């Protein structure tokens, strides 16, 4: 069981699953949303994540004209887990505690869209567009 929370602790959750690795999306939407080179997430089944506190503090923003949504804490602004599809959720890797050891980046997606200054230096497999696995 992995316990995690947003920056201020208003929203907390548990993950009851083995985490396989980190995915980093380098698309322009994720870069603008994060203000960095992209968004690093782990992917878990919807039923593996349980909110333990602050579900009423979760707010969302949907990019107009795009199939993209962002979830965050209304108190501190930390990104939060959100629905990927009907069966899986994205969990921002930065929310995971230090006790979630052994995680490595295994996939970089939308690398054709990465920032010109971004240099990928790990062994994660690079995909020009989305990875469906």
Neighbours of 130 (CB within 10 A): 11
| pLDDT surpasses 80 at 90 | yes
d(Cα 40, Cα 51) in Å, to the nearest integer?
20
**Bridge partners (DSSP) listed for residue 125:** 107
pLDDT digits (tens, 9 = 90+) for 3-40: 999 999 999 999 999 998 999 999 998 899 889 999 99
pLDDT of residue 129: 86
Q: Which CATH class is domain 2-126?
A: mainly beta
Of the candidates 31, 105, 103, the residue with the CA atom closest to the CA atom of residue 70: 31
- The whole-angstrom separation of Cα 51 and Cα 125 is 31
How does pLDDT run across 50-87, given as a tens digit for each residue?
999 999 999 999 877 777 789 999 999 999 999 877 88
Residue environment code for 45-84, b if the CB has 16+ CB neighbours within 10 A, otherwise e:
eeebbeeeebeebbeeeeeeeeeeebbbbeeeebbbbbee
């Amino acid at each position: 069981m992995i316990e995690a929370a947003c920056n201020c602790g208003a929203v907390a959750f548990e993950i009851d699953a083995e985490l396989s690795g980190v995915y980093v999306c380098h698309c322009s939407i994720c870069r603008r949303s994060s203000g960095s080179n992209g968004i690093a997430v782990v992917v878990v089944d919807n039923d593996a994540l349980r909110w333990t506190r602050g579900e009423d503090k979760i707010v969302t923003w949907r990019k107009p004209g795009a199939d993209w949504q962002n979830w965050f804490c209304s108190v501190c602004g930390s990104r939060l887990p959100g629905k990927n599809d009907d069966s899986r959720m994205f969990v921002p890797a930065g929310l995971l505690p230090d006790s979630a050891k052994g995680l490595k980046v295994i996939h970089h997606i939308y690398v054709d869209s990465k920032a010109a200054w971004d240099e990928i230096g790990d062994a994660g497999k690079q995909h020009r567009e989305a990875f469906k696995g």
